[in-house]
């Protein structure tokens, strides 16, 4: 496959006063009447970046366990339901929508804007590495070269890449949100593990090639790369590139 240059991000150390990237995951569903306010908040975080000192990098993960309640979410997947269950090992019995998880270690109701902003500011004060991502777009996929430096000391970390799509819109004709037009940013289309760091490693270097579905709008896709401690689930570095 022939690749075209897509994007390149700098990999200098995080500078004082520079916004710190923080990963914000929202487990949501178009079948859930409580979810639209959380979806709107996630879009606000992505589009306006309202939290001082923070670069909010958002993932909208649509679970499938609402699909039998009158409306099948077109973006839902069992994979995102399983990822939410993986997180629930930290918080027994806490699997619900809308659930927001920030940097892998703090959860809350997705529409609780005040608490979410406070947690993001707190996470931005913790040690975090820098991720450099070189992406190349081809006819049927994307190639990535990932370089992470300045990683905080800890256990092994999984290196993951999410392909997300912004500006997705649905007119809901059934279920709890019947009659509503829902708009989403950061919808996870693909999530893959592309490597793992060793315990105590200060850097990571790796490459990956991922296939893209024909129906995904290339102009609205982003690659989100993040390193997540295998034991604590804390996100120790994250970057988003088009």
Tell me the sheet residues that pair with 133: 146
The whole-model pTM stands at 0.93
Domains in the chain (CATH in brackets) are: 4-241 (2.60.40.2060)
Q: Which long-range contacts (CB under 8 A, 24 or more apart) does 133-136 make?
A: 133/7, 133/8, 133/9, 133/223, 133/225, 133/239, 133/241, 134/7, 134/8, 134/9, 135/6, 135/7, 135/8, 135/223, 135/241, 135/242, 136/3, 136/4, 136/5, 136/6
Helix (H/G/I), strand (E/B), else coil: 90: coil
Query: According to the model, what pLDDT value does residue 9 have?
Result: 43
Helix (H/G/I), strand (E/B), else coil: 56: strand
**How open is the CA angle 118-123-124, to the nearest 5 degrees?**
100
Helix (H/G/I), strand (E/B), else coil: 226: strand
Average pLDDT score over residue span 39-53: 98
pLDDT at residue 23 tops 80 = yes
Name 106's Cβ contacts closer than 8 Å, sequence gap at least 6: 119, 123
End-to-end CA distance of the chain: 19
Place of tokens 């902003």: 117
* Count of beta carbons in the 10 Å neighbourhood of residue 197: 24
Query: According to the model, what pLDDT value does residue 242 have?
Result: 82
Helix (H/G/I), strand (E/B), else coil: 228: strand
Please name the helix (run of DSSP H) or strand (run of DSSP E) that holds residue 81, with its range, or none.
helix 78-87
Taking only the tens place, the pLDDT of each residue in 160-198 is 999 999 999 999 999 999 999 999 999 999 999 999 999
Q: What percent of the chain has pLDDT over 70?
A: 93
């Amino acid at each position: 496959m022939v690749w075209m240059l897509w994007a390149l991000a700098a990999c200098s150390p995080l500078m004082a006063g520079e916004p710190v990237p923080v990963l914000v995951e929202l487990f949501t569903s178009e079948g859930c009447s409580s979810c639209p306010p959380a979806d709107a908040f996630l879009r606000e975080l992505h589009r306006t970046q309202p939290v001082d000192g923070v670069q909010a990098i958002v993932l909208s993960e649509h679970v499938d366990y609402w699909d039998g309640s009158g409306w099948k979410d077109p973006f839902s997947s069992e994979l995102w339901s399983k990822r939410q269950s993986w997180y629930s090992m930290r918080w027994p019995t806490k699997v619900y929508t809308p659930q927001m998880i920030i940097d892998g270690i703090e959860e809350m109701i997705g529409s609780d804007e005040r608490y979410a902003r406070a947690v993001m500011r707190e996470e931005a004060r913790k040690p975090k590495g820098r991720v450099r991502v070189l992406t190349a777009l081809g006819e049927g996929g994307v190639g990535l070269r990932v370089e992470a430096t300045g990683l905080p000391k800890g256990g092994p970390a999984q290196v993951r890449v999410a392909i997300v799509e912004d500006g997705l819109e649905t007119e809901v004709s059934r279920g709890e949100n019947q009659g509503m037009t829902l708009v989403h940013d950061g919808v996870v289309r693909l999530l893959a593990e592309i490597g793992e760091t060793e315990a105590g490693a200060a850097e990571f270097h790796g490459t990956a090639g991922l296939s893209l579905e024909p129906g995904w709008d290339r102009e609205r896709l982003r690659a989100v790369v993040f390193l997540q401690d295998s034991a604590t689930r804390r996100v120790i570095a994250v970057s988003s590139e088009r």
